[in-house]
Amino acid sequence: MIIADMPLEQLQQYRPPQTKQPDFGAFWKRTLDEALSQPLNEDLEPIPTYPVPEVEVFRASFDGFRAGRCVAWYLRPRDIGFDASLPALVFYHGYSGNKGMPHNYLMWALQGYAVLALDVRGQSGESNDGIIYPEGHISGWMTQGIMDPETYYYRGVYMDCVRAAELVAAQPEVDARRMGAAGVSQGGGLTLAAAALSGRFALAMPEVPYLCHFRRALEMAQQDPYLELSRYFRVYPEREEQAFRTLSYFDNLNLADRITCPVLMTVGLLDLICPPSTIYATFNHIKSEKKMCVYPYHGHEVPDNHAEEQMRWANRILRGIEPGNEK
C-alpha cells in the first residue's frame, strides 16, 4: 500500500506539542462570553409541503456572531407530544459546501433524533457573513482576516457553531443533555471546535477533520484548502509568522484537550487534503473516551458503512441503547 504520510504505528504515537499563545484561554473566554450573551433572534419557518409525513422540517435562522444571519435545516419527528425529550444532532458541512437537503438527515430524524444542519457563513449556502474584514485575502476563506485572531474568519464561524448548539438546546422537545455534533472535513473540524468550546455536546463524530495542526498541514497537504495559505505567503512572505500566530487560536491541535465528551473520528491513510498526521496530532491530544476508525485505502472520504458505526455510538451515548439491544 502507498504511504501518503507516516506509517500507522508512527501516526498512533504522533503527539506534537501544542502551540497555544499565553492568552489562549482568555481569548476564548472573552469570545464565548460575547457569543452567548448575543440574542439569537431565532425563527423556525415550517416547510408544510415536505413529502415525508413522519418528519417535520423547518427552515431555521438566527443571528450570526456579531453580524449576518445563519440559516439551517431543523428536522424533528412528527407527533412527538408535549412531553417529548429527544436526543439531537448538529451537523456542520465541508469547505465551500452547504447544508444540503433535508433528506440527507432523514436517517437520523426517522430514528427519533432532532437534527439541525447549519450553513457556514459566507460559503455556498444561505448563511451570510456581515463582518467587514480589515484587508484583502486569497480566494477562499482561509486567509480572510488572518492577521489578527480578533478579526479572523473562523472566529465568527466557530461562534456560529456554538450558537447553533444553543438554538437546538433551547427547543422544548430536545433533551439538552443528549446532543451530539457531526461533520465531514471542514465539518469535522467544526465538530471538534464546537465540542471544545460549546459545552453542549455529549458526543462528537468528526470525519477526516480539517482545521487541525496547520503547520504540519502546510508541509504535507497537496490540495486545497490548506494551499490557500501557501499562496498567501507567496504574496506576503513577511506575514507568515503573524498569520500562524492567529491560526494557533483556531487550531484543533490546541483545542483538543478541552473536549470532554466521547469522540468517534475517522482518518483515511491516503488523504492528500487533510493529511493523516494532522488528524492524529489532534486526536492524540483528546483526553476523553475516543476511537479512531482507520481506513487504509481511503483518501479524503469515508466508506458508506461507517454510518453504522456512527449509529452505534449515537444510540449508545445519546439514546442509551447498547449494541445488541436495539429492539
pLDDT one-digit tens code per residue, 161-204: 999 999 999 999 999 999 999 999 999 999 999 999 999 999 99
Task: Give the predicted TM-score (pTM) of the model.
Answer: 0.97
Q: Which residues contact 212 (CB under 8 A, 6 or more apart)?
A: 189, 192, 251, 252, 253, 274, 278, 279, 281, 282
101-109 own/partner pairs: CB under 8 Å, 24+ apart: 101/73, 102/47, 102/50, 102/55, 102/57, 102/73, 102/75, 103/52, 105/73, 105/75, 106/52, 106/55, 106/75, 107/307, 107/311, 108/75, 108/314, 109/54, 109/55, 109/75, 109/76, 109/77
Residue identified by cell 501557501 is 230
Instruction: List the domain boundaries for the chain.
Output: 8-135+155-223+251-318
Q: What percent of the chain has pLDDT over 90?
A: 95
**Residue 299 pLDDT level (bands cut at 50, 70, 90):** very high
pLDDT at site 82? 72
Q: Is the pLDDT of residue 214 over 80?
A: yes
Helix axes 24-37, 153-169, angle to 10 degrees: 50
Q: How many angstroms separate the CA atoms of 97 and 254, rounded?
A: 25
Q: At 265, give phi and psi (nearest 5°).
A: -120, 160
Average pLDDT over residues 140-146: 98
**Residue 1 pLDDT level (bands cut at 50, 70, 90):** low
pLDDT one-digit tens code per residue, 147-164: 999 999 999 999 999 999
Q: Is the pLDDT of residue 325 over 90?
A: no
Q: Is the pLDDT of residue 84 over 90?
A: no
Q: Is the pLDDT of residue 326 over 70?
A: no
The catalytic residue positions are 185, 271, 300
More confident residue, 72 or 3: 72
Average pLDDT over residues 34-46: 98
**Residue 69 pLDDT level (bands cut at 50, 70, 90):** very high
Q: Which superfamily does 8-135+155-223+251-318 belong to?
A: Alpha/Beta hydrolase fold, catalytic domain (3.40.50.1820)
Q: Is the pLDDT of residue 324 over 90?
A: no
Q: How many angstroms separate the CA atoms of 175 and 200, rounded?
A: 11
Q: How many angstroms separate the CA atoms of 168 and 178, rounded?
A: 11
pLDDT at site 3? 78
- Mean pLDDT for all residues in the chain: 96
Q: How many angstroms separate the CA atoms of 182 and 113, rounded?
A: 13
pLDDT at site 194? 98
pLDDT at site 117? 99
Q: Is the pLDDT of residue 323 over 90?
A: no
**Residue 327 pLDDT level (bands cut at 50, 70, 90):** low
Average pLDDT over residues 125-132: 96
pLDDT at site 281? 98
**Residue 104 pLDDT level (bands cut at 50, 70, 90):** very high
